Amino acid sequence: MAFVRGEANSLGWRNLVIERDETHCGHPFPEASTPLLLIHHLSDLHICDAQSPTRPEYLDRHADPDSPIREQVGTIGTYRPHSMLSPHVVESMVQSLNKITRGSLSGHEIAGAIITGDTTDNAQKNEVDWYLALLDGLEIRPDSGDCSKYEGVIDEGAQHYDVRYWHPHGTPEGKIDDDARAKYGFPVVPNLLNSCRAPFKATGLKFPWFAVHGNHDALLQGTVVASAEVIAEMVADKRYTDLPTTSPLFDVLMQFREIGPAGFPSAGDAPFITVAADVERRAIERGEYAQVHLNSPGAPRGHGFNEDNVANKTMYYSTLIQGVKLIVIDSVNHFGGWQGSLDAEQFEWLEKEVAASDLPVVLASHHPLSKMFNDYAPVGRRVCLDEIQTMLLKYPNVIAWLAGHEHRHHIEWIGPEEELFGFWQIETASHADWPQQSRTVEIVRDAVGDIYFGLTVVDHAAGVDYGQASTPLEIAALSRELSANVWQKRPELGANHGFEWWQGSASDRNVVLKIKAR
């Protein structure tokens, strides 16, 4: 089955409906084949501590349909109405993927899974802990601060009520309905802010899985290097609700750059609400991200990372899996900015790894090649798109590049002659935004040596009915429906890159690709 957005009501709200799965387009898949790599591809989980006090959600309204500067600022991305439901979407996806043990086209056994970065939303230690608990099948309590109540911007208290956020419990006495419900048809979901924080035992992914570092795993809001001042604020008891008077709005918005440097303003006289402090909200450090994966009980040990990654504070590695060499790249520019690039040392390592391989090479990174242009480097040199592409095209053993970051399904040939000289770049959609899908990648070789790629999108296990939104799957169902209705992405309200862009065309979803024998 496939989930699609139904007809809009008077406020533009669309319930989800179920249709038949799409058939595969492209080439016929070979009847007999040898497996090279069968892997589940997940990306952009964005496990989010939506109660964290330093999240600048108040900036996001300037990308709303009624904002006079919307065209200038574009997507801001510091607030999603369903961010607090992110752990439940991952749990629902894990349950779905665990049922797919063989490729639907080839029949070969699935060898593992890969998560191409942005496992967290704000590079916080507690977000990393939640993500690992979900994948490893541990007990998880997706809550922080004062565990007796919800303390994020969508809380139900009349004192802090702000109509620019969705408030699922309804309107406090003496207040007007929030914009999400009054203008855009969002529902009332009683008790959601309690049920989404309730502990549950995660199912755990039943495959060996490999991790990839993303910009949201390294930088605050995926963009900002954590300063000592901001790190102190992250674990403290003040949730800021607006900018200080000394920080002009447009200047701050322009700090969230594709290319670094980027930064948050000093708190100064910014208005705030007192919340519970929580030391687990601290920013995770370089190298520590690898260490917590080494501490994970899941397979393989370290999920690709090793002790050298911890000691050297690097986030790239290579491994052999099934019939390929998997090379995982760290595309994050740690100096700031939300687009990618490589440092010179990693670039040299990458070419040596590719050149030394007698097996087909599959690359994986968070950023796709098209977004590797963040050349900001106060120290050293950053290697960007053209140089990376030129190097890789020297080596015919490179057959694929798996990526995320753009939150969309997208397939692109990289090279001078399609299906012969070059490789396929395969981007997979996110868990944070519509359509909340992963995909299964089946790479095989036929009898004459041609390589085929069978790509199949996978929905998470929740259905269309979210009931009382009291169980993980019901909460995941609600999250998917909310993601299909976010007001900033509605085309009738002027969105440029919205729901259709995220889900891609038919040839970006269920498709069979080919590389001719070389």
CATH label of the domain that carries residue 339: 3.60.21.10
CA distance 487 to 484: 9
- pLDDT band, residue 251 (cuts 50/70/90): confident
Dihedral angle sign, alpha carbons of residues 213, 214, 215, 220: negative
CA distance 243 to 249: 7
266-303 pLDDT per residue, tens: 899 999 999 999 999 999 998 999 999 999 999 999 99
Q: Which amino acid is at 107?
A: G
Which of 285-289, 341-345, 388-392, 442-446 has the least mean pLDDT?
285-289
> Going by DSSP bridges, is the β-strand pair 410-417/421-427 parallel, antiparallel, or unpaired?
antiparallel
- pLDDT band, residue 424 (cuts 50/70/90): very high
Asked whether residue 1 is assigned to any structural domain, the reply reads no
Asked whether residue 444 is assigned to any structural domain, the reply reads yes
Tell me the two tokens of residue 354. Answer: 């590719």
**CA nearest neighbour of 451 among 364, 510, 516:** 516
pLDDT at residue number 252:
87
Asked whether residue 287 is assigned to any structural domain, the reply reads yes
Domain that residue 311 falls in: 22-515
pLDDT at residue number 264:
86
- pLDDT band, residue 498 (cuts 50/70/90): confident
pLDDT at residue number 367:
98
CA angle 261, 265, 269 (to 5 degrees): 175
Bridge partners, residue 426, by sequence? 402, 411
CA distance 146 to 187: 26
Asked whether residue 282 is assigned to any structural domain, the reply reads yes
What is the average pLDDT across 176-190? 98
CA distance 113 to 244: 44
Residue bearing the bigger pLDDT, 494 or 188: 188
pLDDT at residue number 91:
99
CA distance 267 to 277: 17
The pTM for the full model equals: 0.97
Asked whether residue 13 is assigned to any structural domain, the reply reads no
What is the average pLDDT across 309-324? 98
Q: At residue 220, what are phi and psi to the nearest 5 degrees?
A: -65, 130
- CB hemisphere CA count around 500 (13 angstroms): 7
Q: Is 198 left (phi over 0), alpha (psi -120 to 50) or beta?
A: beta
155-165 pLDDT per residue, tens: 878 788 999 99
CB 166 within 8 A of CB 187: no
**CA nearest neighbour of 4 among 509, 471, 469:** 509
Q: Is the pLDDT of residue 253 over 90?
A: no
- pLDDT band, residue 438 (cuts 50/70/90): very high
Asked whether residue 339 is assigned to any structural domain, the reply reads yes
CB 163 within 8 A of CB 103: no
Dihedral angle sign, alpha carbons of residues 300, 310, 132, 431: negative
Which of 18-32, 262-276, 385-399 has the least mean pLDDT?
262-276
Asked whether residue 144 is assigned to any structural domain, the reply reads yes
Q: How many CB atoms lie within 10 A of CB 319?
A: 16
* Residues in Cβ contact with 467 at an 8 Å cutoff, skipping those fewer than 6 apart: 474, 477
The total number of structural domains that make up the chain: 1
> Going by DSSP bridges, is the β-strand pair 382-383/361-364 parallel, antiparallel, or unpaired?
unpaired
Q: Is the pLDDT of residue 74 over 90?
A: no
What is the average pLDDT across 214-242? 95
Asked whether residue 105 is assigned to any structural domain, the reply reads yes
Dihedral angle sign, alpha carbons of residues 231, 235, 236, 242: positive
Tell me the two tokens of residue 340. Answer: 């990618």
Tell me the two tokens of residue 377. Answer: 């480097």
pLDDT at residue number 156:
79
pLDDT at residue number 410:
98
325-366 pLDDT per residue, tens: 999 999 999 999 999 999 999 999 999 999 999 999 999 999
**CA nearest neighbour of 118 among 391, 378, 429, 404:** 404
Q: Give all strands (DSSP E) within 221-333, no chain letters.
A: 238-240, 272-274, 317-321, 324-328
In order of 86, 126, 134, 481, the CA distances from 48 in angstroms are 6, 9, 13, 18
Q: Is the pLDDT of residue 256 over 90?
A: no
Let me know how long the chain is. 518
Q: Which helix (H) or strand (E) element contains residue 503?
A: helix 499-503
Q: Is the pLDDT of residue 383 over 80?
A: yes
